[in-house]
Structure formats: C-alpha cells, structure tokens
Amino acid sequence: MRVELAPIAPELLLVGAGIAVLLGGVLARRADPLAHLAVSLAGVAGAAAASVMLWSREGATALAGAVAVDRFGVVARLVLLGVAALALLLAHHTLARDGELRPEVPALILFATAGMTLLAVSADLVTTFVALEVLSLSLYVLTGSSRRLVSLEGAMKYFLLGAFSTAFFLYGVAMAYGATGTTSLGGIAHALAGRTETPALALVAMALLAVGFGFKVSAAPFHMWTPDAYQGAPTAVTAFMSAGTKVAAFAALLRVLDVALQPLGWDWGPVVAGLAAVSVVVGSVLAIAQTDVKRMLAYSSVAHAGFVLIGATAPGAPGIDAALFYLLAYALMIVGAFGVVSLVSQGERGTSLEDHAGLYRRSPVLAGLFALFLLSLAGIPPTAGFIAKVSVFRAAVEAGHWWLALVGVLASVVAAFAYIRLMVLMYMREPVGHREPDPSPVPRLVLAIPAAGTLLLGVLPGLVTDVLGKAAVLRW
Amino acid sequence: MRGMLGEYLPIALLAGLALLFAVGSLAASALLRPSRPTPAKLAPYECGIEPVRLPAGERFSVRFYLVAMLFIIFDVEVIFLFPWAVAFRELGLFGLVEMAVFLALVLVAYVYVWRGGGLDWSAEGPRPRATHERAREVVRAG
C-alpha cells in the first residue's frame, strides 16, 4: 500500500514541531523559551513551504478521499500559518512578561494550528470532525492556560458549549450518512444531485451541521461562549483563536455548503442568510454596550462572522472569493487589535475602555496601530476592512440578496460607533491612573506586519485578487 | 422514506416491550408486596458494603483522574494492538509502520506526563509545575 503524505505534510510538520517543543519542555534540564519559539516558528515556516509546494499540483482528493488538494486549501492554510506565527511571537513576549509562559503554550498553539489547517482542507466529514476536535481541545486548554479565575471560567464555558456544539455536528454527520450512505463531501453531493424531492434526513443533516459550524464561527445565536472565552483567555491566545478558528471553520463551512450541500442550495440559502442577518445585528448592537475592550472585540467578531456569512450566501466562486478575502482581512485586523490590547493590558488588568483613555499620550505608536485596526474593523477606507465589506456586499447583491447587504450596511454604521468611541477615548481624553503600556519595541515590530497588510490590502487589493480568484474554485 | 423507517420497526417494538416490562415489574411488585419498611430495608443496596456517605465538600486529588486517563490510554492502545496482531500478515509493512507511529505518539504522552511529575505522588518530590499552585488558588478563591 502506497501512502502519499505530501498533501498533509504541513500538518505533520506542525505536529512534529509541537511534540518537539513539548518534550523539550520536560526533558531539557533548563527549558529555554527562545529555543521553543525558534522550533515553533521553524515548524510553521516549514508548513508554509510545504503548503506552497501544493499550489501547482491541484488534484482531487488524497489519502482515500480524506483531504482535498486544491488552491483554496493552500490559501486558507497560508492565512492560518501567518496567524499562528504572529500569535507565537505575541504569546512569547506577553506571557513571559506576565509570568505565564510554559512550553505547553507554543506546543498547544502548534497543535491547534495543525487542527485548523486540516479543517481547511478536509474533504470528508469524518476528517472535518477530527480536525475540529484537535483544534477545539487545544484551544480549551489554551484558554485556561493562565492561572487566573476568569481564565478558568472562560475555559469551562468554552469547553461545555464547545462539547455541546460538537454533539450537534456529529449528529449532523450521522444524518448526512443516513441520507446519502457516505461521509465524503463529493459523495454526498453526488447522492443528493438529480433528485426531484429532497430527503428529509438531508435537511436535518444540513440544519445540525449549520448549528455545529455556527458555534465554531461564533455566529449569533450560537455566540454565547465568545465574550467569556475571549475575555478570559490570555490576550495573545485570544488573538490566535479569534482569527484562526474563524478562518478554519469558515473554510470548512464553505466546503460543506458549496460542495456537499451544493444540490440543496435553495434550502441552505435562507438559513445562512438568516444567521448572517442575526449575527451582524446582534454583534454590532451588543458591541456598543461593552465596557471591556476584549468583550467589545468579541462581539465585533460575532458581527464579522455575520459579514462572512453574507458573502457565503452567494453560491459558487463569487461567494467563496468574497468570503476568502474577508477572512484574510479579518485575520489581519483582529490579530492586530488583540495584539495592541495585549500590550496595553497586563494579565487581566487594563482591558477596560477606561484603561485605553489617553493612550495616544502614553504611546503614540500603539494608539496609531490600534486606530488603524479599528478603522479597518469598522470598514472605513483606505483599509482592508472596507474592501472586504464591499466585496461581500457585492457578492450578496449579485446573488439577489440585496436586503441582506442593506442590513449589513446598517449594522456596520451601528458598529462604527463602538470603534470610534474607543478612538475618541484614545486620542481626546486624558490618561486615567498610572498604568503604562508595555514599552518593548519587538512586539510593536510584530504588530507592524498586520498593520502593513491591512493598509496594503486596502489600497491595493489587486495584489491578492488574482491569487484568491484562482483559489475560489473548490475541488473534490 | 417509509421503507427506511420501516426497518426500524423491530427496534421500536423491542424498546416499547422493554419499557413495558420495566414499568410493569415495578408496578406489580409495588401492588403485590406487603409494605413493612425498616431502616435496614430502606438503605440503598451496595454489594454488601455498609453504604458510606462521603464527607460533604471532599475533593479528590486531580492525580486520580490523571492515572485513570493514563490507564484508559494504555487500555485503548492494547485494544488496537490485538486486532493488528491478528491481521499482521495481511497488513504487512504498512501496518507495522502505522502501529509504530501510534505507539510512538502514546509514548510521547507518557514521557510528557512522567517527566512533568504527573506520576509523582510523594509530597516532597518534584511537584507538577503550576497545576499544584493553580489548584490551591481555586480552593482559596472558591
């Protein structure tokens, strides 16, 4: 039996680096965090190189239909690996500062990344489930990895609701198998195509899978865990999970909707549109009511899940293209925003809105970076967030969902208030208290990467449209 | 649709019968038996052991769970080894490599727990990092 390992080489490299860090942490006489960071980054870089090598060999599926080999998978993997590299650097600095850095943290980030990249390329619902579990279990532990009570509380809520949603997903997989006799995405599409009446079991499967994915991408009304988990987790971990989980889960969701359930497009269209509308409204309105910056960004991430869903309502390549661009822009700006918060705050202190008052006086660089990410989150030109919003709205309008685009525009106006209020606090108010932001220059340089990306994609979106256009075709 | 549900009819019948039998037995014994309760009769039956209520608020050391989980992991490992040994010749080199990878991964987990101090039960020995202090902090705060 010949086994072709190249299609999962990125995951193997990530897991290998994770195991090396884990064992290095307990076997070495003196654990050296810098060595762990170097090994982790080498693993991520190797995984990125292995993904790029897959660009030219666009095939169907590999490993007995378990994973897809396509350019969509390559782009999703590269976004995820970029997020992981930024998160590793941020976590290394901020957790060491707060005395919470242990070798398990980079190792778990690597394992979670392996789960995310596998999720983005899975071509079988069983692979999807395994990848989902790898990423979720690592993130539950990472959320509770600091010794603070609020962190453990967030981890507990995340774990319980995550396990609950996993049950929904698994039940959906079982129903899909019952309806079609297969769990491979291509096989399900084949079995559903060309039927005059839709089997009821397939509709039940669709609904259950939608609930499972809704939890993972934190779309309203399945977002309840998001604020607590995002607030409780160490901020660098929040940056990782907010960007990574969303990109990976949306990649898998797009595959399920546009490949496996493509014959049921008329049935899932209204469901996705409903989830999108509820998410943008709930996320935007509740973001205003928050007094904690991490919770505010958590609700904003709920709204952003809704915007990606608006793009996903357009079937086929245009929708995938828009959603992929949105995910890229979202990953850049949310990692940057949480990265700034991780430098302004320390541990669980310093995350309230008040603590960001007068940030411009204390650190003009951090205030400037945060302002850029907030403008992008609000969707104001010339940032990536603006182009991303325009592209999802255009995809939705072209697919005939103009009302959805209207709801999206109104919700972004509402959400802009929350972001701009924070900017007013940073620039026009005097600092309160004596808390000084982290002065070290290295993490600022790290944050300059997503900042440059946010600006560049906002000014010259043409840089990536060619690549994304080629990646927007799913193969199975 | 109807054909598929029809296949489940025997299962539904069996489930119904089982429910009927359980409820019927309990109801019959409640109606027919004389009712003369004594404290000994009312005590929950526990394999001949005097039932003991654990002191309220007692906490188990997290290490019990660790050992239990390690046991399950190695148990599952053995469960995988048996069918592999039976089909060893058919699986050939592929099976051997796969099993070696699986064993290596389980070994990594074991080495991690062992070297991290998770199997150290003595109070003076090297303590598992962090988990100890965290547990104490939770007890204090909670």
Residue A234 resides in a domain: yes
Residue type, A404: L
B48 C-beta neighbours (distance < 10 Å), count? 5
pLDDT digits (tens, 9 = 90+) for A310-325: 999 988 888 999 999 9
CB-CB contact of A391 with A469 (8 Å): no
pLDDT of A102 strictly over 90: no
pLDDT for the residue numbered A147 = 79
Q: What percent of chain B has pLDDT over 90?
A: 25
pLDDT digits (tens, 9 = 90+) for A133-172: 999 999 999 999 887 889 999 999 999 999 999 999 999 9
Rounded to two decimals, what is the model's pTM?
0.87
**Closest chain B C-alpha to A387 CA, distance in angstroms:** 45
Nearest partner of A391 among A296, A472, A326, judged by Cα:
A326
pLDDT of B139 strictly over 50: no
pLDDT for the residue numbered B57 = 66
Between A147, A178, A200, which is nearest B137 by CB?
A147
User: pLDDT-based confidence at B133, cuts 50/70/90?
Assistant: very low
Q: Per-residue b/e over B93-108, b at no fewer than 16 CB within 10 Å?
A: eebeeebeeeeeebee
* Residues A143, A65: Cα–Cα separation, whole Å: 33
What are the structure tokens assigned to A345, written together? 């705050």
pLDDT for the residue numbered A2 = 64
What are the structure tokens assigned to A396, written together? 């939705």
- Nearest residue of A to residue B96 by CA position? A1
* Residues A160, A170: Cα–Cα separation, whole Å: 15
pLDDT digits (tens, 9 = 90+) for A324-352: 999 999 999 999 999 999 999 987 788 88
pLDDT digits (tens, 9 = 90+) for A353-362: 888 888 999 9
Interval A183-206 mean pLDDT: 87
Interval A35-64 mean pLDDT: 89
Give, rounded to a whole angstrom, the gap between the first and last alpha carbons of chain B.
Answer: 54
Kindly determine whether residue B108 and residue A22, on different chains, have CB atoms separated by under 8 Å: yes
- Please tell me the least confidently modeled range out of A17-31, A209-223, A377-391: A17-31
pLDDT digits (tens, 9 = 90+) for B99-126: 999 999 999 988 988 888 878 776 554 4
For residue A438, report the phi and psi dihedrals to the nearest 5 degrees: -55, 125
Q: Number of folded domains in chain A?
A: 1
A31 C-beta neighbours (distance < 10 Å), count? 16
- Please report residues of A whose CB lies closer than 8 A to that of B94: 1, 3
Q: Using alpha carbons only, what angle is made at residue A47 by residues A41 and A52, rounded to the nearest 5 degrees?
A: 125
Greater model confidence, A256 or A436: A256
Kindly determine whether residue A147 and residue B129, on different chains, have CB atoms separated by under 8 Å: no
pLDDT of A388 strictly over 50: yes
Interval A164-190 mean pLDDT: 92
pLDDT for the residue numbered A4 = 81
Q: Facing residues of A122 across strands?
A: A67
> In terms of DSSP H, where are the helices of chain B?
2-7, 9-32, 39-42, 62-86, 88-115, 131-141
B85 C-beta neighbours (distance < 10 Å), count? 11
pLDDT of B136 strictly over 50: no
Helices and strands: H and E segment counts in chain A = 19, 2
Hey, which residues 91-110 in chain B have their CB within 8 Å of chain A? 92, 94, 105, 108
Interval B48-57 mean pLDDT: 66
**Closest chain A C-alpha to B134 CA, distance in angstroms:** 6
Chains A & B: contacts with CB separation below 8 Å: 29
Kindly determine whether residue A147 and residue B130, on different chains, have CB atoms separated by under 8 Å: yes
pLDDT for the residue numbered A403 = 94
Instruction: Name the DSSP class of A358.
Output: T
Between A26, A149, A200, which is nearest B1 by CB?
A200
* Residues A219, A305: Cα–Cα separation, whole Å: 6
Interval A403-427 mean pLDDT: 94
CB-CB contact of B66 with B113 (8 Å): yes
* Residues B85, B97: Cα–Cα separation, whole Å: 13
Interval A413-433 mean pLDDT: 91
DSSP three-state, residue B58: coil
pLDDT for the residue numbered A28 = 84
pLDDT of B140 strictly over 60: no
- Nearest residue of B to residue A149 by CA position? B138
CB-CB contact of A41 with A7 (8 Å): no
Containing domain of residue A201, as a range? Answer: 6-471
Residue owning tokens 């990649």: A251
Between A23, A102, A152, which is nearest B112 by CB?
A23
Residues with Cβ within 8 Å of A270's Cβ and at least 6 positions away in sequence, in order, are none
Please report how many Cα atoms fall inside a 13 Å half-sphere around the Cα of residue A90, on the Cβ side. Answer: 32
pLDDT digits (tens, 9 = 90+) for A197-250: 778 889 999 999 999 999 999 998 999 999 999 999 999 999 999 999 999 999
Residue A1 resides in a domain: no
Between B112, B138, B141, which is nearest A26 by CB?
B112
* Residues B94, B85: Cα–Cα separation, whole Å: 13
**Closest chain B C-alpha to A160 CA, distance in angstroms:** 18
- Nearest residue of B to residue A3 by CA position? B94
CB-CB contact of A148 with A125 (8 Å): no
pLDDT for the residue numbered B123 = 58
Greater model confidence, B108 or B54: B108
**Closest chain A C-alpha to B43 CA, distance in angstroms:** 35
Residue owning tokens 């394999």: B47
DSSP three-state, residue B2: helix
* Residues B100, B122: Cα–Cα separation, whole Å: 33
Q: What percent of chain A has pLDDT over 70?
A: 99
Nearest partner of A421 among A245, A302, A296, A335, judged by Cα:
A296
Residue A115 resides in a domain: yes
**What is the C-alpha R_g of chain A?**
21
Kindly determine whether residue B134 and residue A22, on different chains, have CB atoms separated by under 8 Å: no
User: Best of B108, B112, B115, B140 to disrupt the A interface by mutation (most A CBs within 10 Å)?
Assistant: B112
User: pLDDT-based confidence at A278, cuts 50/70/90?
Assistant: very high
pLDDT of A46 strictly over 70: yes
Q: Using alpha carbons only, what angle is made at residue A301 by residues A227 and A81, rounded to the nearest 5 degrees?
A: 110
Q: Is B5 on the interface with A (CB under 8 A)?
A: no
**Closest chain B C-alpha to A110 CA, distance in angstroms:** 16
pLDDT digits (tens, 9 = 90+) for A439-448: 889 999 999 9
Kindly determine whether residue A23 and residue B111, on different chains, have CB atoms separated by under 8 Å: yes
pLDDT of B132 strictly over 50: no
* Residues A109, A123: Cα–Cα separation, whole Å: 24
pLDDT for the residue numbered A348 = 78
CB-CB contact of A111 with A14 (8 Å): yes
CATH number for the domain whose boundaries are B62-141: 1.20.58.1610
* Residues A233, A148: Cα–Cα separation, whole Å: 9
Kindly determine whether residue B137 and residue A149, on different chains, have CB atoms separated by under 8 Å: yes
Residue type, A79: V
pLDDT for the residue numbered A416 = 94
Domain parsing of chain B, residue ranges: 2-42, 62-141
Determine the length of chain B: 142
* Residues A262, A311: Cα–Cα separation, whole Å: 16
Greater model confidence, A115 or B142: A115
